[in-house]
């Protein structure tokens, strides 16, 4: 059982490292990507990694939702 917990946390940390530069896609609030891209302090990294390590399934779902919303906006903008 401990191996599953460790694998869950390690995958979450890898997800956090991979998604830090695109974390604006996982937000439900009205924050802008420019604001998040300029804040790269150690505290932001640590908070993002811990949050992803524990909540990566939720983060994946919100990322998919954001991708769908952005795709709809692009298609409506192109029409």
Average pLDDT, the chain: 82
Q: Is 70 exceeded by the pLDDT of residue 65?
A: yes
The sign one gets for the Cα dihedral 61, 67, 72, 73 is: positive
Q: What is the pLDDT of residues 37-55, one digit of tens each?
A: 566 678 888 888 999 999 9
- CA–CA gap between residue 38 and residue 57 (Å, rounded): 26
Q: What is the mean pLDDT of residues 1-23?
A: 90
pLDDT band at residue 35 using 50, 70 and 90 as cut-offs: low
pTM, two decimals, is: 0.74
């Amino acid at each position: 059982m401990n191996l599953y917990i460790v694998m869950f946390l390690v995958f979450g940390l890898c997800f956090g490292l991979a998604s830090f530069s695109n974390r604006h896609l996982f937000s439900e609030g009205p924050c802008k990507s420019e604001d998040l891209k300029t804040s790269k302090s150690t505290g932001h990294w640590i908070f993002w990694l811990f949050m992803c390590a524990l909540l990566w399934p939720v983060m994946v779902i919100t990322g998919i939702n954001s991708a769908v919303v952005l795709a709809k906006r692009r298609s409506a903008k192109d029409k």
